Amino acid sequence: MNHLMNEPMNHLMNDFMTRKAGLMPEPSGGHSRPLHQPPPASGERYPLPQRAIRVLVVDDEPQIVRALVINLRARKYEVDAASDGATALQLAAACHPDVVLLDLGLPDMDGAEVIKGLRGWTRVPIIVLSARQASDEKVEALDAGADDYVTKPFGMDELLARLRAAVRRAAPGSDEDEAVLIETGSFTVDLAAKKVNRDGKDVRLTPTEWHLLEVLVRNTGRLISQKQLLQEVWGPAYGRETNYLRVYMAQLRRKLEADPAHPRHFITEPGMGYRFEP
């Protein structure tokens, strides 16, 4: 008798466990979706995984390459490495990196040639890593199309910060591309209205001062070479008149910096150029 009474209960339990495993449709025309995976609510979207940033490291020193690869992969970057310029150009064409870390002293060609080769078809951010101290070599790399320059030996935190900034600037539709209002602790630049406000008051700038400020602000965080600034502001015939830059940068600092003698926003990279930091 007990056996006969327990049969319906056994049947119901087996039925329930089968549905729970997602192997049997629900009654009343239900779907065969497992119970632990409910359908998304109306308008809900499951988040897509963010694509990893791909970095191409170009250096012929194995110790530096190893250190960079370990540190970058630990922070979830995808990394490719090349020990010479020809391999670097091939990998860049095949893998389409989001940023390139490039040493200038390569065994088969100068790093500046690699920059020119890349700039023939891509605007990928290029950060130069080099032990070279001569200003003219640094300027040559920037003029060839490099976005930034970090001197060896370098701190990993500083390099990673420069890398993140370069990737942000290059991202399509990034806030920096769309920004028309740049704010610092002491002044605001309105690119659309062509106005500068400091401590609640408008600051009068000459047309040349404004043009110089605009070039720097639109490239926030990026090192702009002296030659590039001169040609952007004064025209293509200029490139060596660095005294112009010193005079006008001093005027901008006097008008906008809290302490012009120790600037926080208009930074000089000796022998290379200038950088704006908000």
pLDDT tens column, 110-119: 999 999 999 8
Name the pTM for this structure.
Answer: 0.60
State which CATH number among 3.40.50.300, 3.40.50.2300, 3.30.420.40, 3.40.640.10 fits the domain covering 54-170: 3.40.50.2300
Domain 179-276: which CATH class?
Answer: mainly alpha
DSSP code string of the chain: -HHHHHHHHHHHHHHHHHHHTT-SPPTTT-----TTSPPPPTT--PPPPPPPPEEEEE-S-HHHHHHHHHHHHHTT-EEEEESSHHHHHHHHHHH--SEEEEESB-SSSBHHHHHHHHHTT----EEEEE----HHHHHHHHHHT-SEEEESS--HHHHHHHHHHHHHHHSTT-HHHH--EEE-SSEEEETTTTEEEETTEE----HHHHHHHHHHHHTTT--EEHHHHHHHHT-TT-SS-HHHHHHHHHHHHHHH-SSTTS-SSEEEETTTEEEE--
Domain residue spans in the chain? 54-170, 179-276
pLDDT tens column, 192-245: 888 999 999 999 998 899 999 999 998 888 889 898 899 888 888 888 889 999
